[in-house]
Amino acid sequence: MAENGTFEIIDRDGLARIGRFQTPHGVIETPGVMPVVNPNIIVLTPTEMKKLGMQSLITNSYIIRRSRDLSDRAVNEGVHSLVGFDGPIMTDSGTFQSFVYGDIEYGNADMLAFQKSIGSDICTILDIFSTPDDGYDKARAAVEETFQRTRNLPDDGTIYAGTVQGSIYPDLRRRSAMLMSRSGVKYLPIGGVVPMLESYSYSDLVTAIHAAKMKTDFSIPVHLFGGGHPMFLALSVLAGVDMFDSASYIKYARDDRILMPDRTLDLSDLEQMPGWSPIADRYTIAELKDLEREERTKALATHNLFAIFSEISEIKQRIAEQSLRRYVKAKIRSHPYLVDAYRRFLAFRDMEKYEPFSRKTPFYYSDIEERKDPIYRRLRKFCIEEIARSNDTIAIVDQHLVSPVLSMESRLVRSYEESSAIFVKNWNGIPVPIELWDTYPVQQSISSYSSDRGSLHTSLRRLFPKRLVTIIGDHAGAGLPAGRRRFDLEKVRMIARYQFSTGNSGMIFPDDCIVRTSRKTDRIRTVSRGGELIATLRASDGLLTFTLSGAKLLYNAMPGMKSRVKVSDESSAFNLQGKNVFFKFILLSDPEIIPGNDVLVINTSDNLIAVGKATASGREMRQLKRGVAVDVRSGLGQISG
């Protein structure tokens, strides 16, 4: 069994991740929601909530402690017995009560000791709550004091939760997250957000999440306190939140309000109970309204909690198929402030290194906002730089000449090989060189409309005013500067430059390489040299996968730590034999490694020992402690000489 407090990523979509967090009472799978349970008033029992999808819950240790009866029972029998649940339980410390009612009668050390004494799986420090109205100095003082309360946490195996505060100030959120990540805590809630949620300040909330996430240790789950409404869950997960808690399911039920995937409704406005609701086959709307208050509250709470867990299930599915961004874009249309929040999120430019080069699903281009997708930005930046590094004529290919499959024998390819010009086509505003037309997302996309050809011509003339920009149509190649080159070889070289940000693609694929195509599709499939297979071009996304022979060429072409993962001597012997690399054995990694891309595994002497696919970014490789970091494809077996 994994050590308590360890987190392992099972699947991912950018910063969104399906993971497993180990606790003394079992594994919490993320993303997930912990229902808030008040031990004084249990409307839905944990047994009933488990049937709806609950796997962990949160209760308040301050409420328990200030009641003599509850406190005695919790100390003598344990908090799990008190609430009737044998799974993971997180306890809050009374911070919110301190904010609402003033200072509470217990200090941080007292509350932590009490939480441990009742057997809490995740014990929360008594942090200092900050509101959006707090001035900068007050919020900064709260951050510093909250951190001070983690300074003397004992290393006794307890999972401590250290809350990230900082109000609406991104720099304070970043500092708080950095300080907490360096302390002894193994769980990171983001606090002080309920006022933002209540005022629909979603943009401020997304900013706070992003600021905190980018400075956390990625091996620690991030929890958003109070953020359990279905309409905001997906965007939060996309921004990197792993866990939530929710009291809304019961609070809204008491007010005769029901949660829907995209809104909240008053029972008086409900004309039809959704068919997916667990109470749909038990009550008509009239019967529901006629129930006694207590019974109606329980029925509505059942519906509300199921709505929350159903949303989490959908989010997990979207992560697994790597379509969460598309789902979020549909969700945000339910409220204008969510649209604002999503646009704020799109403005963050530091997301690229956590996004793969391709996704499992097609790239949907529906409007100009897609241009802020990390994959779009990465492609555009590369294409512009690729065009800029040459002084050759830019030839825009008429769209009607572009077929779904670019045949190696087509007239367009022959024109390319007889010219030195840069052949580009317009893909949603990007001048994509002909060599990348089969590469994700260009070929693997669905667009709602075609960008105007003339606008691309204008933009290229603006970007490169001294370069001749021409449009080639039926007479492809006429009037272009003469040249001689191999399309198949230039294609794999450009893809290598795109994937590995290297200018030495000629060293990876020398002139004597043999490129083979598929008889059925005429697409490039393999690249060989000297009778040895170097690389294959994946049919799914048009990207390169290297063999061990190719990895040696890649190793020699790229200096330093580029695309490299250095492992300990203990791991090297196994990796040489083709065994996977685990996070805990990584000593160093290139911070620019992108999830899903090929990486070179090296030993402490910097010798190449294996090649494989990265499961995480370079930063995550240095922080995650459990699971497979590199899915090794092939090992050298032994190092010669």
Q: Is 398 part of the annotated catalytic residue set?
A: no
DSSP letter for 84, please: T
Residue 209 exposure: Cα atoms within 13 Å on the Cβ side: 35
Omega before 35 within 30 of 0, i.e. cis: no
Contact 396, 457 (CB under 8 A): yes
Between strands 222-224 and 188-190, the pairing is parallel
Q: Which helix (H) or strand (E) holds 10?
A: strand 7-13
Can you read off the two tokens belonging to residue 261? Answer: 């995937």
CA separation for the pair 291, 295 (Å, rounded): 6
Tell me the sheet residues that pair with 471: 396
What is the sign of the dihedral through the CA atoms of 259, 265, 270 and 274? Answer: negative
CA separation for the pair 407, 491 (Å, rounded): 13
Can you read off the two tokens belonging to residue 599? Answer: 């990486």
Phi-psi region of 245 (alpha: psi -120 to 50; beta: other; left: phi over 0): beta
Looking up tokens 């430059």 gives: 497
Residue 173 exposure: Cα atoms within 13 Å on the Cβ side: 22
Tell me the sheet residues that pair with 536: 526, 545
What proportions of the chain, in percent to the nearest 5, are helix, strand and coil?
40, 20, 40
Between strands 524-529 and 430-433, the pairing is unpaired
Can you read off the two tokens belonging to residue 95? Answer: 């911070």
Omega before 481 within 30 of 0, i.e. cis: no
DSSP letter for 255, please: T
Of 13, 92, 127, 134, the catalytic one is: 92
Q: Give the CA radius of gyration of the chain.
A: 28
Looking up tokens 């970007």 gives: 463
Could you tell me which of 611, 604, 607 has the C-alpha nearest to residue 641? 607
Residue 325 exposure: Cα atoms within 13 Å on the Cβ side: 26
Contact 483, 420 (CB under 8 A): yes
* Residues found in the chain: 641
Backbone angles phi and psi of 583, in degrees to 5: -55, -40
Catalytic site positions:
92
